[in-house]
Amino acid sequence: MQLKIAYPDKYKTWVNEGVIKTSGKGSSFIDKIVAINKWSAKLETEKVNTPVDRSAWGISPQTINGYYDHLTNDIVIPAAMLQAPFYDENQSYAKNLGGIGAVIGHEITHAFDDNGSKYDEKGNLRQWWSDSDHNEFNKLSNKFIEYYGNFEAIPGHKVDGELTLGENIADLGGISVVSSILSDDVNALKEMYTNYAYSFASIVSDDEIKDQIQHDEHSPNNVRINAALSSSEGFYKAFDVKEGDKMYVVPEKRIALY
Ligand SMILES: [Zn+2]
């Protein structure tokens, strides 16, 4: 797997390529957008019949996001993602694990989710797992579909466990890895889970959530936190969660990738 962190080694910029005029030289905002779109389309069409550039990035360094690409088998963590709450050199190791650590674990796990697992290390569509591993994986996936499908993002509106399967597997992968790094350190686990939740904090209208449930491959953020943590053993240790507590899930119903 190739790791692409912060910014690409080579990149083109609109200003250097003469695509847009710098401010003060006469072009309007609309002119700039049209010029950038034309230039981007030209770059895409020029790729036809040329070898794949495996060093290319799909998003800019200024994007607050990350991704895994199963066709190039790489994870991309742009520079903009390397700031609080995800990462800060002055925040604790545990907080960084709950932020960027869980994100990196999430992206790596995508290589092994219901979609990524169908592609080999070169990005070719090839079943490289044994039949029995594949069957076991499908059984675990069904548990994920059922588990997440029971979570309500807002009252009366449950998550679509099938639509969100790959992202839910990636979330569980990320949180499992960072939880295991901190092992039995209860205070560090508390900090890590708190920053994990904080990094997803957002204000979203009910209408937006209803729309998300139908179209977005990610579970709504409140479910991404609550469902993942309710299946993490470390979370029960860190906050002494007991039967009767809101986030308690009976052990037989909890999910794991193993
Ligand atoms: Zn993802």
State yes or no: is 233 an active-site residue.
Answer: no
β-sheet bridge partners, residue 68:
75
Quick check: 36 pLDDT over 80? yes
Omega within 30 of 0 (cis) for the link into 85: yes
More confident residue, 95 or 258: 95
pLDDT, tens digit (0-9, with 9 covering 90-100), for 8-31? 998 877 777 778 877 677 778 888
Six token digits for residue 7: 């910014």
Using DSSP, how many helices (H) and how many strands (E) does the chain show?
9, 5
Candidate list 69, 74, 107, 113, residue with the active-site label: 107
| pTM, two decimal places | 0.91
Candidate list 69, 74, 167, 171, residue with the active-site label: 171
Spacing, Cα 158 to ligand 1 middle (Å): 20
Asked if 61 contacts 78 with a C-beta cutoff of 8 angstroms, the reply is yes
The confidence band for 179, taking pLDDT boundaries of 50, 70 and 90, is: very high
State yes or no: is 171 an active-site residue.
Answer: yes
Six token digits for residue 57: 């990035």
Lowest mean pLDDT among 32-41, 91-100, 142-151, 175-184: 32-41
User: What residue ranges do the domains of the chain occupy?
Assistant: 7-53, 83-253
What are the CA-CA distances from residue 23 to residues 11, 17, 31, 32, 163 (Å)?
22, 15, 12, 10, 44
pLDDT, tens digit (0-9, with 9 covering 90-100), for 185-235? 999 999 999 999 999 999 999 999 999 999 999 999 999 999 999 999 999
Was domain 83-253 assigned CATH 3.40.50.360? no
Given this model, what pLDDT does residue 257 score?
A: 84
Question: What is the crossing angle of helices 131-149 and 221-230, to 10°?
Answer: 120
